[in-house]
Chain A
Amino acid sequence: MPSNKVIAIRESLKSKLQPSEDLVFKEKFTKEKYLEVLYIKTISDEVVLHENVVKPFFETDSPEDFLNYLQSHAQIKAYENEQKAIDDVLRGEAVLFYQDHVFLFDCKVDRNNAVLDTTVETTIQGPQSGFSESLPVNLGLIRHRYPHTSLMVESTEVGRLSKTKVMILHDSKFADPVTVKRIKKFLGEVNIDMLETGEQLFDSLKKSNRALFPLMLVTERPDRVAVNLSNGKVIILVQGSPYAVILPTVMKDLMSSMEDIYQSYWIAKFLQLLRYTAFNVSMILPGLYVAISSYNPEVFRVQLALSIAGSRTGIPYPSFVEVLLMLFMMELLIEASIRLPKAIGPTATTVGGLILGQAAAEAGLASNIMTVIVSFVAISNFVIPINAFSFTIRVLKYFILLLSTLFGLVGVVLGFFMIIAYMVKLDSFGEAFLSALQSKPGKQ
């Protein structure tokens, strides 16, 4: 018979865990033994519980043997306090009451543990699978690619209500301890109710809680995580999200694709050049069009100036309205194609991109050249390998457009300098955003 202390704990637990449909409390008897089990069946694996606890219970004869069994089992730990026990039960552990002892048995059911294919950061060559939505599986994927004793894994909880389990990984040989400390401190201070995925931390990074540039890299690729670990980065894994956060992040990381190391040297260099060109094109081009065509047409060659002037004849609005109109249309198209069901997606882009552009030009709302520029901007925006960063550029181009509308070519230059100045100011956990080299431990 259980002692009074155990009964008190049992009753207290039962009252704290308000009666719900999936809360299970079972008693099991044999001649000599008496066992009580408390768990939530929707998040606990009953098969595991049966195999590891119930079956041995009936197969063992002496009460001492079973107690020894329980105490030596790897997944069973002793009860510490009530609050912790409640937390664990809510995560899928079972409470075992046996004789004078209370144990917690880890029989969490791990759903969503299928490894997903990469969909955002796709590469032509190299590994094609990403993370799963399960934390232990993700950790396993990383360990698989990074089998080193120096890999440190720590875990913490973030989110006032969600209490999401978060793991911090770094290689103690390469990572800067100061940075690691800063990141841990940051995670401890995050003021958020529900943490569902690492991307939510973007805004928390800045004091004002309003960030424009992503100062952390969110990736779905275990290979990228492994490579970054070896570069001394710190990885944050969030339970339930197939994305890992890589910290600290500089612009170079945001502009790099895993393809850079899977392709041969010159091809990788060419692709990088292409990416930085696309970055500038998609940021500056709309503003440049307004500035050149309305302020400084002497920059064009005379042929182009005349052909733009020709294609703009009969367009009722000034160039910046024309650009805004077309850009707005393009943004709607991009947003719509994300939301649209997969079956309709391609149709919508074709209809929107080709027909709408052509129709706008024919209706005299925009010039032919404008259609070319808008599609150029849209396409080059998608060359940026990290999605979060390409969104930033999508917003930045309006800033340049505004300045160029007001000040012409000077505005474009001014805007570009302002953006660079802002980027220079940014830092990610002590790492300057525009730095080209990763800092090594011991160097400050």
Chain B
Amino acid sequence: MRLTSKWKLSFNIFLTFMLLSGCGFKDIDKRFFVVSIGVDLAKNSSKKYLVSLKFAVPKTTRESPAEYQIVSEEANSISEAVRIIKTKVDKEIDFSHTKVILLGEELVKRRGNAGVNYWFVRRRDVQSIAWIAVGKPSALAVLKVKPTSEYFPSNALFLALGKDGSETPYVISEFMYDFKFRAIERGIDPVLPIIKAKKDFLEINTVGLFNKSKMLLELQPEETKMLNFFLNREEKSSLWGKKGQTNMIVNTEKVKSKYKIYTPKGKRPYIQFDVSVDGVLEETTKRIANKQLSKYEKVIGKQFSKEALRVLRKIQKAGLDPVGFGLRYRSRHFNDNDWKEWQRIYPTIDFKVHTKVQISDTGLIE
């Protein structure tokens, strides 16, 4: 009977294991995947927020079209809204594929909504690599747009914000972990892309600059492109230049920017930006020979520097720091009051931009 007792013990251990599995097991078809979340301010209601979840409805055959379901709920907190939405859908809500979080334009312009962000960070099944963006006119409006090219819900957003799809300098996409870092760290401020809902498509070409609590400044598309170069995010773009009567456009293949903060004694501190641009000539109004290229390079470089300077000053004027000059300053200065010092320096700091343009080709065979 010794053997039986041994088997009995193993069987009991096995039964205990069964208890351990508990609530984890949930088949994939019993889960309802949220692909994007939108948070807006509630209108005409006593509640604070309007939370909308966009669910992907799985296709049963390959031919059936991409379907989705948007469920919205007004509540004072996101958790509360999600609890109520749970009662409205038949399957378990699963945030593990939530890749886009949209905040309504009005929401981000108002102070004191920082708490909204923390729900996404704390919630374990929302991944930190979700993109976060501003929805214009509202997050819900963006969720409702259904581009015809989309073959599963919110795919257009995923492709536009990620590098998988279109690569353009007008989109500065932002991951949630980075947003959280920028929202907390002294010396670097959050930047979020603004997604505009159009009838059949989405337009993403501007960014909103934040201070620690709300959106303060909205950049124009060209300014967005400049900021993108400062952040060294996307290198494929086009630059425009004019020399005399000749307009030309350079398709850039490589844009690298470096900066250094100089604090000379007794003089005004300045930030030296060095930008190098490699590209090919894409379009001109007049024929340009290979020999003349160096002249045009200079013109474009000058124009670039001018534009860059304008954007940097605009951002500085708003008291924002999306590039992270403050963080760089703090990392190079080890005084106890470095942050205070930087706050004193930044509003009056000078910018110097030097651009080196290299056009490798006119795009024609001579």
Residues of A within 8 A of B (CB): 293-298, 302-303, 305-315, 318-319, 405-408
Contact = CB atoms under 8 A, between A and B. Distances in A.
B26 A294 contact: yes
Interface in B312-357: none
> Which 6 pairs between the two chains have the least Cβ-Cβ distance?
A298-B96, A310-B58, A312-B29, A309-B58, A293-B28, A302-B97
A407 B152 contact: no
Contacts of A305: 28, 33, 97
A293 B127 CA distance: 17
Contacts of B97: 297-298, 302, 305
A294 B97 CA distance: 14
Contacts of B21: 405-408
B26 A407 contact: no
A305 B56 CA distance: 10
B73 to A, nearest CB: 23
B245 interface: no
Contacts of A303: 152
B27 A294 contact: yes
Given A298-B127, A309-B31, A309-B58, A406 B20 contact: yes
B42 to A, nearest CB: 29
Contacts of B18: 406
Given A302-B97, A302-B99, A406-B20, A294 B25 contact: yes
Interface in B57-74: 58-61
B33 A309 contact: yes
Contacts of B125: 298
Interface in B97-149: 97, 99, 125, 127
9 contacts: A295-B25, A302-B158, A310-B60, A312-B27, A312-B28, A313-B58, A314-B60, A406-B20, A407-B24
B7 interface: no
Contacts of B51: none
Interface string B183-222: 0000000000000000000000000000000000000000
Nearest to B97: A302
A110 B28 CA distance: 64
Between B20, B28, B35, the greatest number of chain A beta carbons within 10 A of the residue's beta carbon is seen for B28
Contacts of B27: 293-294, 312, 318-319
B60 A313 contact: yes
A315 B31 CA distance: 14
Contact of A310 (B20, B25, B59): B59
B274 interface: no
Interface string B3-36: 0000000000000011011001111110101010
A297 B29 contact: no
A406 to B, nearest CB: 5
Contact of A407 (B20, B29, B35, B94): B20
Contact of A408 (B25, B56, B59, B60): B25
B28 A318 contact: no
A318 B30 CA distance: 10
A302 B31 CA distance: 13
A351 B70 CA distance: 45
A315 B28 CA distance: 11
Contacts of A311: 60
Contacts of B152: 302-303, 306
B272 to A, nearest CB: 43
Nearest to A298: B96
A296 B60 CA distance: 21
A406 B94 CA distance: 20
B29 A406 contact: no
B29 A306 contact: no
A124 B186 CA distance: 67
Nearest to B62: A307
B134 to A, nearest CB: 22
Nearest to A292: B28
A315 B58 CA distance: 14
Contacts of B58: 306-307, 309-310, 313
A295 B29 CA distance: 12
